[in-house]
A and B are shown apart, each in its own frame.
Chain A
Amino acid sequence: MSINGKACIAGIYEHPTRLASDKSLVQLHAEVARGALDDAGLSKNDVDAFYCDGGVPGFGALTLANYLGLKLRHTDTTESGGSAPILHVGHAAQAIAAGKCRVALITSCGRPRAAGVGPAMPLDPETPDDEFDVPYGCHLAQGYGMVARRHMHDHGTTSEQLAWIKVAASHHAQHNPHAMLRKVVTVQDVLDSPMVADPLHRLDCCVISDGGGAIVVVHPDIARQLKRPVIMVRGAAEAVKTLNGGFFDLASSAGAVSGATAFAEAGVKPSDIQYASLYDSFTITVLMQLEDLGFCERGAGGRFVADGGLISGVGRLPFNTDGGGLCSNHPGNRGGVTKVLEAVRQARGEAHPAVQVPNCGLVLAHGTGGSLGQLHESATLILERV
């Protein structure tokens, strides 16, 4: 059964904070939930389904349902790291299409800055591979650094081309008053920043921020009664890539599968997409996803992003017009929710005027959760204003 045309995004909200020293984690969830419901014109009592990722404290959706005071008939705590909120929209659309719920609330929040913890995971004796991998000190940045190195080796991709991705994000972030990094940077600025995971520089990495966001997914009958633009879910898909017993490569992500599936469900092709939110934990993440999703040929990502290729109003594909994770927000080390939010803003025509894509009817949000090219889950979402 297709979910094309079966559910709509009716409400969104992004928490303005980037450092939540004065708030608890569950309080952030409450604030973004309220914000998104207000945006939709719905109340807490309209919600009958709740979705959250593994970043919630306690017992998943149950803990939040209790704290928020929700009355639910459907929940989902699927954990896929940064891609989770994107695939939750797809799961919510499935549940709505199947009649299991009518108003699904999705939240994703974190406060790693205030808590003083990074994205590093502690060694867990019950997690297979940890005893083999963790002692070698391969942090997330080195994992992505290996993907970048291999891409350079296979395709001649350069550090200058990767830097253009950060440059484009910074051009957009200058217009976002909540962005952590609003200064427009140059390719040379990126290359001059300290190396942290050779060949990745500090400015090839996303910010670490507190905050989060929420999304309200509803039955189309409800969306049409509300006063907000109707943003229809056209395609949604996810796919997992594993280390396959040691037989894997770093040449692609599961986005090649989730993207093709979502495009088929939506009945559109990459060249139809007017705006794309692309997961940007690191610059290489964006480049590989562009290839996986078919916006360019494998190996052509470097040329695609160079010379402002991703800058709104300048390039061939406007991306992450909020500044993305590279410059604005990567709440709780999970940038999936903000990818959906900016895609909805663009489809509504509510992005900042300096970066709004004219007549932006068809948009895409895509995420990679886990480690690019290695163990991860990709999620692709295609939305249309109707």
Chain B
Amino acid sequence: MPTFETQTYWDAVDQKQLLLKTCKACGRAHYTPRSHCPHCFSTNTHWTPSSGRGVVYSYSIANRAEPPYVVAYVQLAEGPMMLSNIIGCPSADVRIGQAVQVSFQADAEGRTRPYFQPAEKDTA
């Protein structure tokens, strides 16, 4: 359910690109995206492409779901933490510090979303 403030993010996701907001006043990225920089409160914020790479900061498993799934905070290479799911490997293989990369998949309702999967070795 995008808002006027977040439509650009979801349009990019549909094109399999992950965008972050970066502030030209203080130089820092932030997530989730907003018009006012949460670090310095400047309105000089701009959409910038993320590398889509990061590491698992922590994770948990929704064990009672069918099938169970992994919820994680991924720390992106650009700095911000992002809540997502780890896909593409058994939940028992997920580790804190594991290198992951973004993977765009359709959810149950057909909406494309960014998920994360174990990074290929040359990109880790």
Point out residues on A near B: beta carbons under 8 Å.
123, 125, 128-133, 135-139, 141-150, 153, 194-200, 243-250
Chain B residues 55-94 with CB under 8 Å of chain A are: 57-65, 69, 71-73, 76, 79-85, 91
The reply to whether B73 and A142 contact each other, CB–CB distance below 8 Å, is no
The reply to whether B58 and A250 contact each other, CB–CB distance below 8 Å, is yes
The reply to whether B28 and A150 contact each other, CB–CB distance below 8 Å, is no
Complex Cα distance A249/B96, Å? 13
6 contacts between A and B (CB under 8 A): A144-B60, A146-B58, A149-B59, A243-B81, A245-B37, A247-B80
Complex Cα distance A137/B34, Å? 22
The reply to whether B58 and A147 contact each other, CB–CB distance below 8 Å, is yes
The reply to whether A146 and B61 contact each other, CB–CB distance below 8 Å, is no
Complex Cα distance A195/B62, Å? 9
Q: Which residues of B contact A148 (CB under 8 A)?
A: 60
Q: Which residues of A contact B60 (CB under 8 A)?
A: 138, 141-146, 148-149, 197-200
Complex Cα distance A128/B65, Å? 26
The contact size tier of chain B is 35 or more
The reply to whether B61 and A245 contact each other, CB–CB distance below 8 Å, is no
- Shortest CB distance B65–A (Å): 7
B32 at the interface (CB under 8 A from A): yes
Q: For A123, A147, A197, which residue has the most chain B Cβ atoms within 10 angstroms?
A: A197
Given contacts A142-B60, A146-B59, contact A246 B79 (CB under 8 A): yes
Given contacts A123-B1, A129-B32, A245-B28, contact A135 B58 (CB under 8 A): no
Complex Cα distance A123/B2, Å? 12
The reply to whether B1 and A246 contact each other, CB–CB distance below 8 Å, is no
The reply to whether A197 and B63 contact each other, CB–CB distance below 8 Å, is yes
Q: Which residues of B contact A200 (CB under 8 A)?
A: 60
Q: Which residues of A contact B72 (CB under 8 A)?
A: 146
- What residue in chain A is nearest B81 (Cβ atoms)? A246
- Residue from the list A131, A153, A245 in contact with B6, Cβ < 8 A: A131
The reply to whether A246 and B57 contact each other, CB–CB distance below 8 Å, is no
- What residue in chain B is nearest A373 (Cβ atoms)? B58
Q: Which residues of B contact A133 (CB under 8 A)?
A: 32, 83
- What residue in chain B is nearest A124 (Cβ atoms)? B1
B31 at the interface (CB under 8 A from A): yes
- Shortest CB distance B31–A (Å): 4
Q: Which residues of B contact A144 (CB under 8 A)?
A: 60
- Shortest CB distance A128–B (Å): 7
- What residue in chain A is nearest B108 (Cβ atoms)? A135
- Residue from the list A132, A139, A146, A199 in contact with B73, Cβ < 8 A: A146
The reply to whether B73 and A247 contact each other, CB–CB distance below 8 Å, is no
Q: For A138, A143, A195, which residue has the most chain B Cβ atoms within 10 angstroms?
A: A138
- Shortest CB distance B63–A (Å): 4
The reply to whether B62 and A142 contact each other, CB–CB distance below 8 Å, is yes
The reply to whether A139 and B62 contact each other, CB–CB distance below 8 Å, is yes
- What residue in chain A is nearest B2 (Cβ atoms)? A131
B123 at the interface (CB under 8 A from A): no
- Shortest CB distance A72–B (Å): 36
The reply to whether A246 and B31 contact each other, CB–CB distance below 8 Å, is yes
- What residue in chain A is nearest B73 (Cβ atoms)? A146
The reply to whether B82 and A246 contact each other, CB–CB distance below 8 Å, is yes
Given contacts A195-B63, A200-B60, contact A137 B28 (CB under 8 A): no
Given contacts A128-B32, A131-B1, contact A153 B58 (CB under 8 A): yes
- 3 closest A-B pairs by beta carbon, nearest first, are A246-B80, A145-B60, A245-B30
Given contacts A135-B107, A146-B73, contact A245 B38 (CB under 8 A): yes
The reply to whether A149 and B63 contact each other, CB–CB distance below 8 Å, is no
- What residue in chain B is nearest A200 (Cβ atoms)? B60
Chain B residues 74-124 with CB under 8 Å of chain A are: 76, 79-85, 91, 96, 107, 111, 113
The reply to whether B79 and A250 contact each other, CB–CB distance below 8 Å, is no
- Shortest CB distance B95–A (Å): 9
- What residue in chain B is nearest A131 (Cβ atoms)? B1
Given A132-B32, A245-B80, output 10 extra A-B contacts at Cβ < 8 Å.
Answer: A132-B31, A133-B83, A146-B71, A194-B63, A194-B64, A197-B63, A245-B37, A246-B80, A248-B81, A249-B57
Complex Cα distance A143/B58, Å? 10
The reply to whether A198 and B80 contact each other, CB–CB distance below 8 Å, is no
The reply to whether A198 and B83 contact each other, CB–CB distance below 8 Å, is no
- Shortest CB distance B106–A (Å): 12
B3 at the interface (CB under 8 A from A): yes
The reply to whether A135 and B38 contact each other, CB–CB distance below 8 Å, is no
The reply to whether B83 and A138 contact each other, CB–CB distance below 8 Å, is yes
Q: Which residues of A contact B29 (CB under 8 A)?
A: 246
Given contacts A146-B73, A245-B31, contact A195 B84 (CB under 8 A): no
